[in-house]
Amino acid sequence: MHSIYEPIRVHKALDAEVNIGPIPGSQIWWWSGAMLITIILCNILGKGWPVGFPLFVWMAGTSWILTGNQSWKFLNRFHKPRRYVFAQLPYSPLLQFSSHANKSKKQKGKASRR
């Protein structure tokens, strides 16, 4: 017997996003607009698909990055993660001015003479 509080198992496909081939369902309107603009520009400028295809890929990729639901999953691959290191080192300044170094040496010398 199942308890009232036990979660009901549901098929994972019911929660999946609709795709039309490689095109995400939420992006179909953006990508069809990018394709339409590409076709119009190629016809106006008299350029063929060697110019039109990279233009379409650029417009579709930009629209996916700006309006996509989970574009961060792909874009995080190119982000270098921070490297955390546990260390206990004494502080040493990167730039040491000669006037400060000379003063500290002189003060140490005077202190040792006393």
- pLDDT of amino acid 26: 80
How far apart, in whole angstroms, are the C-alpha atoms of residue 99 and residue 102? 5
- pLDDT of amino acid 112: 53
Series of mean pLDDT values for 10-residue runs along the chain (114 residues)? 73 73 80 90 87 89 83 78 73 70 56 53
Nearest CA to 38 out of 25, 21, 27, 50 is that of 50
How far apart, in whole angstroms, are the C-alpha atoms of residue 13 and residue 15? 5
- pLDDT of amino acid 47: 83
pTM: 0.50
Nearest CA to 22 out of 62, 57, 73 is that of 57
- pLDDT of amino acid 105: 56
How far apart, in whole angstroms, are the C-alpha atoms of residue 112 and residue 114? 6
3-state SS assignment for residue 81: coil
- pLDDT of amino acid 100: 53
